[in-house]
Amino acid sequence: MTADLIGLIVGTLLTLLVLSYILGDNPLYRLALHLLVGATVGYGVAITTVTVLRTILPALQSDSPDRVRVLIPLILGILLLFKGFPRWSAWGNFSTALLVGVGAAVALGGALVGTIIPQTAAVGSLDIWLREGLAGLINGLIVMIGTICALLAFAFAAPRQPTLRRIWNGSVGVLGQVGRLFLLTAFGAAFGMALTASLTVLVGRVYAVVIGVQQIITAVGMGGG
């Protein structure tokens, strides 16, 4: 029994346990989930412990300027541990607020730099459209119309004056409906890509199970012989 054979057996059995969910929720499937969660938590704790022991503690023992800079995350981490105790959980709110604030700022910055600004630049790139001829112009117009209509699809407020409301519903309302069609198309394409990727992973795992079972039978047969 080599290490590779043991890993092959464990991987094949765990894959079969996960695939047993096809028959419905059962104890074997829950066992695989518990193993996954436990292994993930254990790995995270191990990585965190090694990071603290190798980075923070040596920096605290030295006389370098990093000593003060490392002390702040150490205190915040200790305060975060208080969230596990209901009586002192309020002390962990400082660390939690910092994590939520930094996470929201990073997400907002990523959305601006990675999505909104490039999309806005793509909408206004008329010179680039014209360089590619008629096909580029049509493609650019579709991008511009789709972006504007998709943004108007989230306009839920309307003017109070009846005249302005009729104009609003006749212009913004119609464009918003067109924007919803663009959104549905985008969501449908994303769902199709996710489904295709999931089926590819499923086929790969089924193939791995078949190959694993064949290799296990061959190894056991050779061992028995």
**pLDDT tens for residues 31-75?**
989 998 999 999 988 988 887 777 777 777 777 776 777 778 888
Q: Which pLDDT score is estimated for 190?
A: 92
What are the φ/ψ torsions at residue 158 (nearest 5 degrees)?
Answer: -135, 150
At 1 the pLDDT is 60
Report angle CA 117, 149, 144 to the nearest 5 degrees.
50
DSSP state of 90: G
In the chain the first and final C-alpha atoms are separated, in Å, by 14
Residues 85 and 76: their CA atoms lie apart, in Å, by 16
Global pTM exceeds 0.75: no
